[in-house]
Structure 1
Amino acid sequence: MSHPDTARTIAGAPETKVAGAEATSAEASSAVADFLAAFETYKQVNDTRLAQMERRSADVLTTEQLARIDAALDTHKARLDALATKARRPALGAAPERTEAPAATREHTDAFATYVRHGEAGGLKALEAKALSSASGDAGGYLVPSETETEIGRRLAVLSPIRALASVRTIGGGTYRKPFMTSGPVSGWAAETAARPETASPVLAELAFPAMELYAMPAATQSLLDDAQVNVEEWLATEVDTAFATQEGVAFVTGDGVAKPKGFLAYTKVAESAWAWDKVGYVATGAAGAFPSATPADPLLDLVYSLKAGYRQNATFVMNRQTQGAVRKLKDENGNYLWAPPAGVGQAASLMGFPVVESEAMPDVAADAYAIAFGDFRRFYLVVDRAGVRVLRDPYSAKPYVLFYTTKRVGGGVQDFDAAKLLKFAAS
């Protein structure tokens, strides 16, 4: 089966600088070539293993060789991901752009840099007083410049797999509320002169997405902060983006909604035949902790076609690395592998023609595990960002290091329960 229209690049085209572009391109081409070559070897060894199993003469050495190649494929994929991340991470605040920025923006940027380097908060206090801000100042930190906040958001979109797929909305309050119809208005047919009985009205309910506090605490030496060549905003954004991405990446999948976003695996899950709004539907593999031995690809087909066509055209598979290693071995009825490696840096691997995104927060294949999700995540999951990233400078708690308690408020939850389905590794 193939679905070329949906084989899309999850991340946009890499943004690269002219300097070093040729070297980066050569490294990327080499990484892709190595990955493709490794996968060809993988297919040959796996074909040998399958032939041995059919003859009931499976060779342990073949299985071990396949496991080594599988690990090598993961290494090649990690290399490609690192190159894509490196290419797409934007440089923050080049000097010419600062000069052309509005005066208020430059004033905030300069005041923030002074605060980070030397702890002098007078400039930021004056700006917040001028803006009638309700900031908590010395007790709760100061807002980073808007360009730094924007770049932290862009970096998170690169590093956080679910955020990259989901809808993202920025709010000014503590909670985002979204109305939805649990039942639509009733309609019907009527002849030209027939009576039109009154129909039922739509029933409205509300989804609430509260923004919870996410924090990171990077540390720096005073000598680093005193170095005029160090762009303190760039340094701060680089230090917090990975920490934020790791925490929210887990919360968007498995978070319980208590002081953190609610992950899509935390909602009530029901068999697709009993699906109802506010529940996430699943398809069972028919075998506990495994794909069925006779027809291993069938559960994936059932999963794909459990999704309505309107969602399926923009759908993505989400699974962790271990699960992706398992699906690499699967073939269709014609002997073609269902999984295909990415065609280039910044592109996703594909399964049955649909993109595959790795999220290590997804569970491993095990009995009753919901190890694979499939759906249109932009319609399925909503990430809510409260505007504003705060930084509180702490030069006392970890001398001689200066800590920067950095906080942002993030929420998340399912907004359309029909837009994605799960694969449960169970008999039913």
Structure 2
Amino acid sequence: MTVSNQAPETKATGDIALAYDDLRYTLEAYRAANDERLAELETRMGGDVVTSEKLVRLDGALDETRRRLDRLALDARRPSLGAGEERDPTVAEHKAAFASYIRHGEAGGLKQLEGKALSAGSGPDGGYLAPSTVESEILRRLSAVSPIRSLATVRTISSGTYKKAFSTTGPASGWVAESANRPQTGTPALAELSFPAMELYAMPAATQTLLDDAIVDIDQWIAEEVESAFAEQEGAAFVSGDGVDKPKGFLAYPTVADASWSWGNIGTLKTGVAGAFAASSPADILVDLVYALKAGYRQNAAFLMNRKTQGTVRKFKDGNGQYLWQPPASAGAPATLLGFPLVEAEDMPNVATDSVSIAFGDFRCGYLVVDRAGVRILRDPYSAKPHVLFYTTKRVGGGIQDFAAIKGLKFSA
């Protein structure tokens, strides 16, 4: 028996190339036979039987070659066995046990693994920890579709609450001569900020037929199913959540006129007209909003508003007749307003009397999102028979960590 020393990836690539060549040659022969048939129809007012049979055979060969190419391409996308598997045997064992639980409800492997890890809160009532690959994929997708999460600082924690000390007066410092006595610095004013992680859940459903299909990537399917549900709930909570069983949104904090701003409040500027921009030079207030933010925050700042508000500011021009809103410079990039990124968040309020419908700031400094490590999944095959429900939970919190980094535009007189 001859043993091939060719790497699996190289062999798969070669097989695909050969199948593609076969497809190309078969397609050329098929087109030539079809051209011949059309020419016969034009000259003889009827096709030759031999040519028609040849075309039928080529048609079948073309379909078979396409199926072979599709099958090879699918095999190439699957994770390779052996060398391509997870190097950490514990991770591979967890993935295998998790797949068995999701597909067939066999929880013995997960119970044994979580028993070894001395994990608490798992089991039939609380669900089982999803592999790290599933958690990473869910968080990656949320970062791509959740506007605030994509702008804010994100911390992963292992406890239920993240606490952070923050100086509200800045560091105590000063100048002194080389040989002079060092005066005692003043005591900085510290504030302790607390960010509890609240439970967020989604409940995707699947048929047993889908779960039995070995080609379906279960990890990818779960991430896709919970992505939109998690992103929708997070988006609303990070903007206007009241902090009760959910993160506290930045618009839920008290607002004050920026001239009298103090720690613990969001500074705002007024448009001068209730529920609208000023009739004359409406874009001037946007310039004022930009420069209400300290220079240290402006370099990483962005505008935040919903689609309807963006439709209004898109019409504004500067004194030279140039539009202030500019389209994205490349695929995937945000539009800009006054040269700053404009991020669309549908949970921002529409323009109305006394609404804070536009925010501007360095959200990476200003807002903190905390993710408690671990995504838990509980399989429920009974509540919605014949469908299988997957009660998926993660813990997430959020709130303002620097009140000076975010300013708002209030539509009031």
TM class, shorter-chain normalised? Answer: 0.7 to 0.9
Quick check: 1:352 aligned with 2:338?
Answer: yes
The structure with the largest alpha-carbon Rg is: 2
Quick check: 1:157 aligned with 2:143?
Answer: yes
Quick check: 1:106 aligned with 2:82?
Answer: no
Match of 1:414 in 2: 400
CA distance in 2 between partners of 1:211 and 1:124 (Å): 25
2:276 to 271, 284, 290: 290
Q: Which moved more, 1:228-237 or 1:160-169?
A: 228-237
What SS class does the counterpart of residue 183 from structure 1 fall into?
coil
Shift of 1:197: 5.9
Shift of 1:183: 3.0
CA distance in 2 between partners of 1:275 and 1:298 (Å): 21
Counterparts in 2 of 1:56-71, with a 5 A limit? none
TM superposition score normalised by structure 2 = 0.78
Shift of 1:322: 0.2
Q: CA contact under 8 A between 2:122 and 2:129: conserved in structure 1?
A: no
- Per-residue CA deviations over 1:323-375 (Å, capped at 9, x if unaligned) read 00000110111111100111222011110111110000000111111000011
CA distance in 2 between partners of 1:170 and 1:121 (Å): 27
Quick check: 1:404 aligned with 2:400?
Answer: no
Higher relative contact order (CA 8 A, sep 6+): 1
CA distance in 2 between partners of 1:115 and 1:376 (Å): 43
- Per-residue CA deviations over 1:132-184 (Å, capped at 9, x if unaligned) read 11132011100000111111110100010100000000000000000012334
Shift of 1:194: 8.0
What SS class does the counterpart of residue 163 from structure 1 fall into?
helix
Match of 1:39 in 2: none
**1:424/1:129 CA distance change after superposition, 3 Å:** same
Quick check: 1:326 aligned with 2:312?
Answer: yes
- Per-residue CA deviations over 1:223-263 (Å, capped at 9, x if unaligned) read 11111111111111110011101100110000000000000
CA distance in 2 between partners of 1:402 and 1:322 (Å): 39
**1:201/1:397 CA distance change after superposition, 3 Å:** same
Q: Which amino acid letter does the alignment assign opposite residue 314 of structure 1? A: N
Match of 1:217 in 2: 203
**1:242/1:381 CA distance change after superposition, 3 Å:** same
Shift of 1:276: 0.6
CA distance in 2 between partners of 1:240 and 1:389 (Å): 11
Q: CA contact under 8 A between 2:201 and 2:230: conserved in structure 1?
A: yes
Quick check: 1:370 aligned with 2:332?
Answer: no
CA distance in 1 between partners of 2:252 and 2:353 (Å): 17
1:145 to 126, 131, 138: 131
What SS class does the counterpart of residue 99 from structure 1 fall into?
coil
Match of 2:224 in 1: 238
What SS class does the counterpart of residue 154 from structure 1 fall into?
helix
Unpaired stretches in structure 2, ≥5 consecutive residues = 1-15, 17-76
Match of 1:52 in 2: none
1:95 to 79, 100, 107: 79
CA distance in 1 between partners of 2:143 and 2:178 (Å): 55
1:270 to 253, 256, 267: 256
CA distance in 2 between partners of 1:301 and 1:348 (Å): 19
Unpaired stretches in structure 1, ≥5 consecutive residues = 1-18, 20-92
TM superposition score normalised by structure 1 = 0.76
Shift of 1:129: 0.9
CA RMSD in angstroms comes to 1.9
Quick check: 1:258 aligned with 2:247?
Answer: no
Q: How many residues were matched structurally? A: 336
**1:184/1:235 CA distance change after superposition, 3 Å:** closer
What SS class does the counterpart of residue 125 from structure 1 fall into?
helix
Q: Which amino acid letter does the alignment assign opposite residue 199 of structure 2? A: E
Q: Percent identity?
A: 66
CA distance in 1 between partners of 2:129 and 2:179 (Å): 66
Match of 1:82 in 2: none
